[in-house]
Amino acid sequence: MFILLKRRNILIGLLAVALTVGLCFAVSATATSAYSVPKMGKTIIIDAGHGGADGGVVGVTTSVKESDINLSIARSLKHFLKTKGYDVVMTRTTTDGLYGMTTKNKKLKDMQERKKIIEDTKADLVVSVHCNSYPRHDQVGAQVFYAPGSEDGKQKADAMQNILKATLGTERNAMSGDYFILQCSSTPSLLVECGFLTTPSEEKKLVSASYQEKVAYAIFTGIHTILGEEGV
C-alpha cells in the first residue's frame, strides 16, 4: 500500500512538473509572438454594425441576425490586422449594443457612442462591417460605401472594392452612401456591406465561419492596400 501510494505520489509529482514546464513554454511562446510582430504604427477602428436590441437584417432562411455575422467578421478582421502589427479599436466587442442602460432612443445613444469612440481615437481608418438586404431575393455581392462628396473616400472605397472583386467575386462597384458612421467624424471611413442576407445563396455563405474569415481577410487586404503597405 505504502509503495503504491508513493508510486502514485511520484506520478502526480511528475505530472505537475510536466504541466508546469508545458505552461512555461506556452507563456513564453505567447510572450514571444506578442512582441515579435513589428508595429505598423497605424490604428484601425472596426465598427461591427448593430448589436443588442438592434439586430439589423434578419437572414431569410436561417433568421440569423446581421449583428452577429458583423461581429464575427469584425473579430476575424481584428485578428488579421493585429497579426500584421496594426493597432485595432473595436466599437463593440460583444453582442450587446452600445446604449448601456438606456431604455429610450437606444439607436441614437448607440450611434452617439460609436461616434465618441471614433472621435476619441486617433485612427487612420474606420471600417464599418454590415450585411445588406433587398426586397427581392436575388441580389448578391459585397459592396463598399463612402461618404457622399468625399474624393478621398471614393479612392479608398474603389481600392477596397477592387480587392473584394478579386477575392470574393462580387461584380458591384463602390458607391457613396448616406450613412451616419461615414459622416460622423473627420477620420477616413468606409462601410462594407459583406453580402445580402435576404438572398438564400448568399446567406448560406455568410453564416459559415470559413466564408466570414474569407470576407475578413479580403477587407484586411483592402485596408493594407489602402494604407500603402505592400507584402500582405
Q: Residue from 44, 45, 47, 49 that binds Zn ion (CB under 5 A)?
A: 49
Comparing CB distances to Zn ion, the nearer of 108 and 232 is: 108
Task: Give 182 or 224: the residue with its C-beta nearer to Zn ion.
Answer: 182
DSSP string, 2-47: HHHHHHHHHHHHHHHHHHHHHHHHHHHHHHHHHHHS---S-EEEEE
| 59 is a site residue for Zn ion (CB under 5 A) | no
| Residue (49 or 51) nearer to Zn ion, CB | 49
DSSP state of 54: B
Number of residues that bind Zn ion (CB under 5 A): 3
- Pick the closer one to Zn ion by CB: 168 or 224: 168
Q: Is there binding between residue 130 and Zn ion (CB under 5 A)?
A: yes
Give the whole-angstrom CA distance, residue 213 versus residue 208: 9
Query: Of 17-25, 125-133, 183-191, 203-211, which segment contacts Zn ion by CB under 5 A?
Result: 125-133
Contacts for 33-39 with beta carbons within 8 Å, 24 or more apart? 37/82, 37/83, 37/84, 37/85, 38/85, 39/85, 39/87
Q: Which residues are CB-neighbours of 42 under 8 A, at least 6 positions away?
A: 86, 87, 124, 125, 227
Neighbours of 131 (CB within 10 A): 29
Q: Which stretch binds Zn ion (CB under 5 A): 40-48, 56-64, 74-82, 139-147?
A: 56-64
Instruction: Give the residue from 37, 130, 132 showing the smallest Cα distance to 88.
Output: 37
CA–CA gap between residue 71 and residue 108 (Å, rounded): 20
Site string for Zn ion, 82-121 (x = CB under 5 A): ----------------------------------------
* Nearest distance from C-beta of residue 93 to Zn ion, angstroms: 18
Residue placing its CB nearer to Zn ion in the complex, 78 or 130: 130
Closer residue to Zn ion, CB minimum distance, 49 or 188: 49
Q: Tell me: does residue 56 bind Zn ion (CB under 5 A).
A: yes
Residues that bind Zn ion (CB under 5 A): 49, 56, 130
